[in-house]
């Protein structure tokens, strides 16, 4: 066990956990932030996606010892960001979710895409969202919502 100082959604948090513990489980069980989800534990599904120093990262495979002082942003905090807000709004407006379990990860991936590519093509969307699994199959609406969010962002509105 060791003490780790973390920067989560702009706040300083401290946890005492085993070094091998994935960031996902530190978030969920030590910090009680359950918005980031466990889907597979082997980075195959993306339900655990967070942003680590601005980079979309699958938290189920990053041991806490590898995090360091990099800023962590989770689904609970992404709404503080204008791109995050636009994506969440677009998701709700487009009625994307079904069971919703994958959507934290989908949103975090979409935000990462839109921060880099403000006018994503169909191919951009497919490649960047290509590793986020949705068992319900909400993919067609995810595409629509990303395009809606992109349009909102470029209009300057949120």
Partner 1 sequence: MPGIRAGLLLSAILIAVALWTGSFRFAGTSATAFDGPATAQGLAAWEQIYSVLTHPRCINCHTATNYPQQGNERRRHIANIVRGPEGKGVPGLTCAGCHQETNADSTGVPGGHNWHLAPLSMRWQDNDDRPLSSGAVCRALTDRSKNNNLDGPGLLKHHEEEPLVKWAWNPGQRPDGTVRTPPPLTHEEFVAATRRWVEAGTPCPR
Partner 2 sequence: MATTAFHPDLNRRGFLRVSFAAAGGLFVSLYLDPKSVTLAQEGPMPAAQVKVCPPDAFVNIRPDGKIVIQVNRLEFGQGVQTSLPMLLADELDADWTNVIANLAPAADVYKDPVFGIQIVGGSGSIAHSFQQYRELGAKTRAMLIAAAANRWNTTPDQCRTEASVVRGPNGRSATYAELASEAARQPVPAKINLKSPTEFRLVGKKIKRLDSSAKCNGSLKFGLDLDLAGMKVAVVAHPPVFGGRVKKVVDDEARRIEGVRDVFEIPLAKGSGVAVVADKFWPAKQARGRLKIEWDLAGVEAADTSELWTRYRQLGSTPGNVAVSNGDPNAIDKTIAANRIVADYEFPYLAHTPMEPLNTTVRFDGDHAEVWAGSQFQTGDQMAVAEVLGLKPEQVTFHTEMAGGGFGRRAVTDSHVQREAALIAKRLRGTPVKLIWTREDDVQGGYYRPMHFHHVEVGVGPNGLPVAWRHVIVGQSLLAGTPFESFAIKNGVDSTATEGTADTQYNIPNLHVSVHHPKVNVPVLWWRSVGHTHNAFVMETLIDELATRAQMDGIAYRQKLLKPEAKKLLRTLDVLDKATAGWRNKLPQGHALGVSCHESFGTGVACAVDVSIENRRPRIHRATVAVDCGLAVNPLSVESQFQAGLSFGLTQLMPKGAITLKNGVVEQRNWDGYVPPYIVDAPVAVEVHIVPSTEAPTGCGEPPVPVISPAVVNALARLTGKRHRSLPLSSV
Name the residues that contact partner 1, by CB under 8 A: 19-22, 41-46, 49, 52, 55-58, 60-63, 66, 109-110, 112-113, 115-117, 124, 127-131, 133
Instruction: Assess 79 for contact with partner 2 (CB under 8 A).
Output: yes
Backbone dihedral region for residue 33 (phi beyond 0: left; psi -120 to 50: alpha; all else: beta) = beta
Candidates 74, 111, 112, 114; binder of partner 2 (CB under 8 A) is 74
* Cβ neighbours of 135 (radius 10 Å): 11
Length of the chain: 158
**Partner whose footprint covers residue 72, from partner 2, partner 1, none (CB < 5 to 8 Å by kind):** none
Instruction: Assess 39 for contact with partner 2 (CB under 8 A).
Output: yes
**Partner whose footprint covers residue 139, from partner 1, partner 2, none (CB < 5 to 8 Å by kind):** partner 2
Q: E strands, the chain, where?
A: 2-8, 11-17, 49-52, 55-58, 71-73
Instruction: Assess 37 for contact with partner 2 (CB under 8 A).
Output: yes
Which among 91, 6, 100 has a CA at the least distance from the CA of 47? Answer: 100
Q: Which is nearer to partner 2, 19 or 53 (CB)?
A: 19
């Amino acid at each position: 066990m060791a003490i780790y100082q973390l920067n989560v959604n702009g706040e300083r948090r401290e946890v005492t956990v085993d070094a091998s513990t994935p960031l996902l489980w530190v978030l969920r069980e030590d910090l009680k932030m359950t918005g980031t989800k466990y889907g597979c534990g082997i980075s195959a599904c993306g339900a655990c996606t967070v942003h680590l120093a601005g980079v979309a990262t699958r938290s189920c495979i990053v041991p806490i010892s590898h995090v360091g002082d990099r800023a962590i942003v989770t689904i609970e905090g992404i709404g503080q960001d204008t791109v995050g807000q636009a994506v969440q709004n677009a998701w709700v407006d487009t009625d994307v979710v079904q069971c919703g379990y994958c959507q934290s990860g989908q949103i975090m991936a979409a935000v990462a895409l839109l921060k880099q590519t403000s006018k994503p093509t169909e191919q951009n969307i497919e490649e960047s969202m290509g590793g986020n699994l949705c068992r319900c199959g909400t993919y067609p609406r995810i595409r629509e919502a990303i395009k809606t969010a992109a349009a909102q962002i470029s209009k300057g509105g949120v």
